[in-house]
Structure 1
Amino acid sequence: MADIAVDTRPRARSNENARWRVFARNVFPFVVVLGLWEIVARAGVFPPKLFPSLVTIAETFVRLTANGILPHHTFDTILRLLAGFALAAIAGVVLGILMGRSRRIEDIALPLVSIGAPIPGLAYAPLFLLWFGLGNTSAVLLVAFVSAFPIIFNTWTGVKAVKEIWVRSALAMGADDRRLFVKVIVPGALPYILTGLRLGLAQAWRILVGIEMLAAVPWGLGWMIFGAREFLNTDVMLAGVVVIAVLGLALEKLVFQKIEEYTVMRWGMVR
C-alpha cells in the first residue's frame, strides 16, 4: 500500500495566522492610546512640561535606566511588594480556607473582614506608621494587611462554591480529610483563589505607591513619582508609571497565566 503524504502546511499557516491575530488584538488598544497621547501632546493642549510627548518620556526612561536610578527604585519597590504580597497570600488563603470549612471561624472572622475591607488602604497608613515607625517595616505590613482582604473573600467564596456532589462522591470513595482537601477542596476553589490573588496584587500596588511617600523610605517608585511631582517632572513620573505597568503585566503573564494553564485550564475548569 502506498504511503499517503499529508500536507500539514495549511494547518501550520492557519495556526500562525491565528497567533498573529491574537497578537494584533492585544497590541491594538496600546497603539490607539499611545497614538492619542502623542496627538494631544503635539497639539499643545497642555504645556509640554505637564504633558510630555512619547519621545520625551522614552528619553527620560533611558536616561534614568542608564544612570542606575530607575533600576534602584524598581528593585526596592519589588522587594517591598513581594514581601508584603507573600504575607498577604499566605495569610489570606489560609484564613479564607478556614472560614470556608469552619462555620465557627466564619462567624468570627467574616464580620471583621467585612468591616475592614471597604476602608481605603491609605486610611490605615497613619496607624501603621505610629505602630511600626517609618521605613520598610510599616510599608510591607500595610501592603500585606490591605491586599489580604480580597484574597480572603475570594478564597472563602471559592471553598463555599465547591459542589457538594464532589465532596459526597469523594467521601463515598473513601477519601479521608487530607485527600478531600487536596484533591477536591483546593482544586475546586483554585479559580477563585487566583482571582483573589490578582485583586490582592492590584491592591498591593496601589497602597505601596502611596505608602512609599508617607513612610519616608529612601528609594522606591512611589517615592520617585511623588518626588518628581514637586518639581513638575512629569516625564519622570510617567517613566515610573510605565515601570509599574510593565511589572504588573509581567506578573500577570508570567505568573498567574502560567499557574492557570498548568492547573485549572488543564483540569478543564476554565477555558
Structure 2
Amino acid sequence: MLKRKAALAAIPIVIFLLGWEALSRGSLLNPYLFPPPTTILMELGNLFMKGMPAQSALLMHVGMTLWRVLLSVVLGIVAGVIVGVAMGLNRAVYSFFDPLITVLMPIPGIALAPLFIVWMGFGNQTIVSLGVLSAFFPVVYTTVAGVRSVDPQLVRAAQMMGSRPIGVVLNVYLPWAATYVFNGVKLGLARCWMTIIAVEFVAASNWGMGYMIWNAAENLRADVVYGGILLLIVIYFILEKALINRLESRTIARWGMIRQA
C-alpha cells in the first residue's frame, strides 16, 4: 500500500521532469536558463568527482553545511530546552525572556547577517551563531507549552515520593513535554536550515551549499544552481525523516509518555 502511494506520488514528478527535458532539448525552453535535468545530474556528478580521490568538491560543500546545521541545531535545542523549562516553571523568568523573544523571533536570520558580520566577521562564527538563534526560538516556545501542560497530579506524586526539583524536571516535565519539544525541534531545524543556507550566500568564505549556489549564480552556471537546490531538498528530507523523526519516536517510546501537542 505504501509502495503504491509512493509510486502514485512520483508519477507527476516524473512527467514534469520528462517534459522539462524534452522542452529544453528542443529549445522550447532556453537551455542556459533551464538546462535539462540530465545535464544538471551530470554536473553534480562532475562536482562529486572533482578532487577525488582525496577530496570531492561537492562533498566538501555538503559536509561543511551539514556540520554548521547540526552544530547550530544541537546548541539551539539545548539552550531552548533550558530556557523553555525555566520560563514554564517560573513567571519571573517568563516575564524577562518573553519580550526579548517576541521582538527577535520574527527577524529573519539573513536580516541580522550584516550586523553579525560587523561583530564577528565572515566565516563559521557568524553562520553558526545565526543558525543557533534560528533553532532556539521555536524550541523555547514549544517547551514552555509542554511544561505548562503537565498534569499537576503527576508533579505532586513525584514530590510525595521524595523527588528533588531536578528529579521532577527530568522524570516528569521533560518526558511529558517530549512531543512538544520535538515539534519545536522540527520547526527549529527548518528555520536553521534556511538561515544557514541564506547566510552562506554572504558570510561563507569558501565552502558550503549556499556558497556553492551563490558562486554558480555569479558565474551564470544555472545547471549548478539547480543541482544545488535539488540537493538542498534531498538532504533536508533525509535529515527530518531519517534523523529527527526516528529520534523522536525512540525518545518518546523510551520515556513512555505519549502526548499529542
The count of residues paired between Structure 1 and Structure 2 equals: 251
Find the counterpart in structure 1 of residue 23 from structure 2. 43
Contact 1:60 1:235 in 2 (8 A): yes
1:4-15 pair list within 5 angstroms: none
The one-letter code sitting in structure 2 at the alignment partner of 1:98 is A
Aligned CA distance change for structure 1 residues 63 and 160 (closer, same or farther; 3 Å): same
Runs of 4+ in structure 1 displaced over 4 angstroms? none
Contact 1:85 1:143 in 2 (8 A): yes
The one-letter code sitting in structure 1 at the alignment partner of 2:235 is L
2: CA distance between counterparts of 1:270 and 1:60?
A: 46
Compute the displacement of 1:43 (Å).
2.9
Post-superposition CA distance 1:204-249 (Å, at most 9, x none):
1111111112114211110111111123322211222222222222
Compute the displacement of 1:30 (Å).
4.0
TM-score normalised by L of structure 2: 0.88
Find the counterpart in structure 1 of residue 258 from structure 2. 269
TM-score normalised by L of structure 1: 0.85
Aligned CA distance change for structure 1 residues 136 and 268 (closer, same or farther; 3 Å): closer
Q: Percent identity?
A: 31
Find the counterpart in structure 1 of residue 135 from structure 2. 147
1: CA distance between counterparts of 2:172 and 2:6?
A: 35
Contact 1:264 1:270 in 2 (8 A): no
2: CA distance between counterparts of 1:25 and 1:52?
A: 30
Quick check: 73-82 or 128-137, which moved more? 73-82
Post-superposition CA distance 1:44-75 (Å, at most 9, x none):
55312222222122211211111121111111
Higher gyration radius (CA) = 1
Aligned CA distance change for structure 1 residues 162 and 30 (closer, same or farther; 3 Å): farther
The one-letter code sitting in structure 1 at the alignment partner of 2:41 is A
2: CA distance between counterparts of 1:100 and 1:27?
A: 45
Alignment partner of 2:220: what SS? coil
Aligned CA distance change for structure 1 residues 101 and 34 (closer, same or farther; 3 Å): farther
Compute the displacement of 1:116 (Å).
0.7
Is 1:23–2:3 an aligned residue pair? yes
Find the counterpart in structure 2 of residue 182 from structure 1. 170
Gaps of 5+ in 1: 1-20
Cα RMSD after superposing both structures: 2.0
Contact 2:69 2:193 in 1 (8 A): yes
Is 1:59–2:47 an aligned residue pair? no
Contact 1:99 1:105 in 2 (8 A): yes
Alignment partner of 1:59: what SS? helix
Aligned CA distance change for structure 1 residues 233 and 71 (closer, same or farther; 3 Å): same
